Amino acid sequence: MKRTIVVLIGISFLAMALSGSAAAVTAKDMAKFLPAELAGFKAPMQVIAHDMKMKTYTISAASRVYMKGQTKVRIALTSGPIVKSLAKMAGMKISTDTPTSRVKSIKVAGFNALESYNKKMKHLTVQVFVSNLIMVQTQMESSDPGAALTLLKAMDLKGLSKLK
């Protein structure tokens, strides 16, 4: 499974490189969707946002860390040509459980998503693909996706999907 994902990501980067120019939603626009408080989680620091301009495309990113008690969740928003390819992969029905990892397709607020868990490192990642333009990724140390899903559902994903 790991090899398959690496191959798919490699193909996505190749497609991105061959696709010519592609505009990304700006980091500043995405940062507006990362408020100081979200579903009872507070952000102790400011949003980190930047746009990286390449020759034929731009990759934009905005991220923020949220905390509630001992639970710490990082939310990162990314826009760029690779997101469309990854979103297609998330649209496939994936469900794999090995001794070291678990990956499965899910839906969050009607959007395709992937939930990945590294059992050895106890690291959970949930990636939601909003309108094939923006990837919303949560990362935390926990086997329970509850906190990540609570934050994702509290976000204005519908509003985020309207960015162009």
pLDDT band for 8, please (50, 70, 90 cuts).
Answer: very low
Helix (H) or strand (E) holding 7: helix 2-18
Q: What is the mean pLDDT of the chain?
A: 85
- Please give the pLDDT value at position 23: 56
**57-79 pLDDT, tens digit each:** 889 999 999 999 989 999 999 99
Interatomic CA distance for residues 76 and 137, integer angstroms: 5
Interatomic CA distance for residues 50 and 95, integer angstroms: 33
Instruction: Answer yes or no: is pLDDT of 127 > 90.
Output: yes
Instruction: Answer yes or no: is pLDDT of 50 > 90.
Output: yes
Instruction: Answer yes or no: is pLDDT of 24 > 80.
Output: no
Q: If you average pLDDT over residues 111-120, what whole number do you get?
A: 92
